[in-house]
Amino acid sequence: MQSKDSLGIAYDVTSSFMESIPKKERKKYGQFFTSRKTAEYMASMFSINYNKAALKLLDAGAGTGLLTVALVERLRKSGYHGDIFVVCYENDTRVLSTLSENLENLKKSLDIKYEIRVENYLTSQSFLSPDLYKKKAEQFDMIIGNPPYLKIAKDAPEAKAMPEVCHGAPNLYFLFWAMGIHNLKDEEEMVYIIPRSWTSGAYFQRFRKYLFHFCVITSIHIFGSRDKVFDGESVLQETMIIKVKKTRKKPLFVKMSSSETSDFDGIKYYDVDYNTIVAPNQFVFLVTSEEEAEILTRVNRQTSTLESDQLQMRTGIIVDFRTRDVLRDSDVDGSYPLFYSQHIRNGRVLWPVGREAEYIVTDRIGYLQENTDYLFVKRFTSKEEKRRLQCGIYLKADHSQYKYISTQNKINYIKCETPELAYGLYVILNSSLYDSYYRILNGSTQVNSTEINIMPVPSKDAIQLMGQELIGQELTESNCDKIIDKWIK
Ligand SMILES: C[S@@+](CC[C@H](N)C(=O)[O-])C[C@H]1O[C@@H](n2cnc3c(N)ncnc32)[C@H](O)[C@@H]1O
């Protein structure tokens, strides 16, 4: 079969190229090639409009052109007979002869026209700010891509060309994605394979704002394991495939799928509510099952946040190795308690425990905080620990002789007006619902207060009542879950 040969041939040609250049060299360009099955899967994700007389395709950072070959093959195989014009950007001159060979084969076997642009995709056209000649961006019907994954300096030409989506030192992959959206026709689709890092956190906020201003997400594929996605390469990045559509019309569902590896064996399909995947704060949740979708739906129904309830979580104030001179191992005159994560035990804060530097002697107000009721939360847990969110209730009444206390920066704290609020926050953060929610939101083991502060929670009044209910009971996860189940349906 002619069409099957195109992709097969393209892979043979690519393998020879890969053997000719050391991996280390290719890494400098962010050059990882897509495996055959992944390329075919990506191509299969597009909806095709068979009535269009012509289609203009874009593959930016085309490498040896594997994605283009897969997409053209899909179009032709499924019966698209119109004209196909492909534009490939690639600025590594070493790969160009391989790319030309693959596209030339495609031209002959599947009747396309093509253009290779040996240009920097990001700096050779203007981004949002209108250029001098007010030229409209070039527009494409279908965009497919595996962009380079490479962190660049914040003053690199690519970053400077796209200030609208950058925050600090950006990664080329989301600049490619942003430029792709710029080059996409309205109501059309683009499919990209990318890392997962853009889905949460402040660093990508500008990019997400831009993305959701122009596009909606229609499909996501999640890979369970970190390697094997790129042919013969093991890339230590958690990757995903995403299809976005340039439109304002949100679909009801995002079509989700997941597989352990890029051979797509045992692939699972499930649809998830759009608003569960894309939360109101524009975080994106990579839900891997229907159970996870339910967790998100429940939490996302809550309309307050710790920030809106004036219950912000903050990071402890003392960096102990920088403040050695004011730390003491025992209770000396004028000392105050200094709390570390080791003091958080079974839902309580136990102090002193006989560790070094548990006391602080200072009159520097920046080193001290009011002695009041708090919820303390560990900032770091190990992968092996069952819970990501581990907290302890600190009550002023337990150490009322002190006017001030202090906290090391490896704990986070939430200041509470009443003991009930401290208990209520404990119910929330010690529940399995919120622990699971946080895991879905953030793959790392660090508890990031910015993320906690904007996650949806019940109102302050409800939190207070939840706390009242817990007082007098054991501080177990199951007791917290029972209370949560009454309040969060
Ligand atoms: C991750 S590889 C993907 C190659 C191919 N699309 C595939 O999926 O097998 C990214 C490609 O982008 C190219 N590239 C990197 N920066 C570029 C830029 N600024 N403009 C155009 N191409 C670029 C690299 O040389 C590399 O071949």
Residue-wise pLDDT tens digits, 420-439 = 999 999 999 999 999 999 98
The larger pLDDT score, comparing residue 130 to residue 247, is at: 247
- Average pLDDT in the 172-197 region? 95
List the one residue out of 288, 30, 34 whose CA is nearest residue 174: 30
Beta strand extents in 417-460 (DSSP E only): 456-457
Q: Which residue has a Cα nearest atom 9 of ligand 1?
A: 33
Please tell me if the CB atom of residue 146 comes closer than 6 angstroms to any atom of ligand 1: yes
Pocket test residue of 7, 17, 25, 31 for ligand 1, highest count of atoms within 8 A of CB: 31
Confidence of residue 2 (pLDDT cuts 50, 70, 90): very low
Please tell me if the CB atom of residue 34 comes closer than 6 angstroms to any atom of ligand 1: yes
Predicted confidence at residue 261, as pLDDT, reads 82
Closest atom of ligand 1 relative to the 31 alpha carbon: 2
Residue 269 CB contacts under 8 Å (≥ 6 apart), including other chains: 255, 256, 257
Q: How far apart are alpha carbons 439 and 455 in whole angstroms?
A: 12
Closest atom of ligand 1 relative to the 61 alpha carbon: 12
Distances (CA, A) of 284 to 199, 254, 296, 380: 5, 11, 11, 23
- Average pLDDT in the 166-177 region? 92
Where do we find the tokens 């002869």? Answer: 97
- Average pLDDT in the 314-325 region? 94
Predicted confidence at residue 96, as pLDDT, reads 95
Quick: pLDDT tens for 461-489: 999 999 999 999 999 999 999 999 999 98
For residue 321, count other CB atoms closer than 10 A to its CB. Answer: 8
Beta bridge partners of 313: 414
The larger pLDDT score, comparing residue 17 to residue 26, is at: 17
The larger pLDDT score, comparing residue 55 to residue 291, is at: 55
Is residue 4 pLDDT above 60, yes or no?
A: no
Mean pLDDT value across the chain: 91
Confidence of residue 128 (pLDDT cuts 50, 70, 90): confident
Please tell me if the CB atom of residue 95 comes closer than 6 angstroms to any atom of ligand 1: yes
The larger pLDDT score, comparing residue 131 to residue 470, is at: 470
Confidence of residue 186 (pLDDT cuts 50, 70, 90): very high
CA 25 to ligand 1 centroid distance, Å? 13
Contact 96, 134 (CB under 8 A): no
Predicted confidence at residue 234, as pLDDT, reads 47
Please tell me if the CB atom of residue 316 comes closer than 6 angstroms to any atom of ligand 1: no
Q: How far apart are alpha carbons 250 and 265 in whole angstroms?
A: 30
Please tell me if the CB atom of residue 122 comes closer than 6 angstroms to any atom of ligand 1: yes
Pocket test residue of 32, 117, 144 for ligand 1, highest count of atoms within 8 A of CB: 32
Q: How far apart are alpha carbons 31 and 464 in whole angstroms?
A: 54
- Average pLDDT in the 403-422 region? 98
Domains parsed from the chain with CATH numbers: 2-291 (3.40.50.150), 313-487 (3.90.220)
Q: How far apart are alpha carbons 307 and 208 in whole angstroms?
A: 21
Please tell me if the CB atom of residue 231 comes closer than 6 angstroms to any atom of ligand 1: no
pTM (predicted TM-score)? 0.78
Predicted confidence at residue 236, as pLDDT, reads 47
CA 355 to ligand 1 centroid distance, Å? 53
Where do we find the tokens 């700010």? Answer: 129
Please tell me if the CB atom of residue 144 comes closer than 6 angstroms to any atom of ligand 1: no
CA 149 to ligand 1 centroid distance, Å? 9
Beta bridge partners of 412: 315, 377
Please tell me if the CB atom of residue 121 comes closer than 6 angstroms to any atom of ligand 1: yes
CA angle, 273 then 310 then 418, to 5°: 115
Pocket test residue of 71, 90, 179 for ligand 1, highest count of atoms within 8 A of CB: 90
